[in-house]
Amino acid sequence: MPELKHIFFDLDHTLWDFEANSREALTELYQSLKLSEKGLPDINTFIKAYTEENAKCWEAYRKGEMSKESLRSERFARAFRRFGTDDFRTAEAAGRLYIEISPLKTQLIPGTLNLLSYMASKNYRMHILTNGFEEVQHIKVKQSGIEPYFENLITSEDLGVKKPHPQAFLGALKRTGSQAAASAMIGDNLEVDVVGAREVGMLAAYFNPTAKPHTERVAIETRQLIELRKYF
């Protein structure tokens, strides 16, 4: 078995604290678009509804059933409609604003910097492999200060195929000049990151902070990022 040389990280919810950053961005746009005056409930109720609609839209996007452009406004339009507000213009404005504001947010999952500097000290070559959008993922990595750790930031948009499709992993391996058996993938999504990587022969580590139960065979699983140090 070749020595492990390359580590691929998922970005959203694994290193970049999507929940916290999204909450900050949504709070700002709720205020600047005066959503409370448009029939929408308090910010927490709104965020909960948006989060649920966003997850459904992302699932549709990942399956190729929704385009990137429609996802951006549709998740807001659907959240608005839950409260009887049918206002596509405001939904479009919210979609644009969200894309502008959220990538500038800098909260990281606890343990991110600790883990990355540990991995760097072990001379692993590190890359990001994300299903997120090309233009926003680069901004997130730069703004949050983790850019220097990575040789490559590879998005599914760039590859033309999304995780967990085998071609996403194989494309990333090819681009970085690495081989599956010498590579690991670390991510928070069991199906997308962990099973996907395992299926192409990579070592897969499941970051499962809420200890979601499952029945998959997983090589490495931790609730905290820093716990991953003992495996690498």
Give the binding site for Mg ion (CB under 5 A).
10, 12-14, 188
CB of 10 or CB of 17, closer to Mg ion: 10
Give the integer Cα–Cα distance in Å for 227 and 88. Answer: 45
- Measured in residues, the chain has a length of 232
Bridge partner residues of 187 (DSSP): 206
Least distance (Å) from Mg ion to the CB of residue 214? 16
Instruction: Name which of 107, 102, 162 is nearest 130 in CA terms.
Output: 162
Look up residue 134 and give its amino acid. E
At residue 202, φ and ψ (nearest 5 deg) are: -85, 155
CB of 95 or CB of 132, closer to Mg ion: 132
CB of 26 or CB of 129, closer to Mg ion: 129
Least distance (Å) from Mg ion to the CB of residue 225? 13
Least distance (Å) from Mg ion to the CB of residue 14? 5
CB of 91 or CB of 205, closer to Mg ion: 205
Other beta carbons within 10 Å of 131? 24
CB of 85 or CB of 107, closer to Mg ion: 107
- Cβ–Cβ under 8 Å, residues 2 and 179: yes
Least distance (Å) from Mg ion to the CB of residue 45? 25
Least distance (Å) from Mg ion to the CB of residue 13? 4
How many helices and strands (H and E) does the chain possess? 9, 6
Look up residue 78 and give its amino acid. R
Which residue sits closest to Mg ion, CB atoms considered? 13
Give the integer Cα–Cα distance in Å for 65 and 57. Answer: 9
CB of 62 or CB of 72, closer to Mg ion: 62
Least distance (Å) from Mg ion to the CB of residue 230? 22
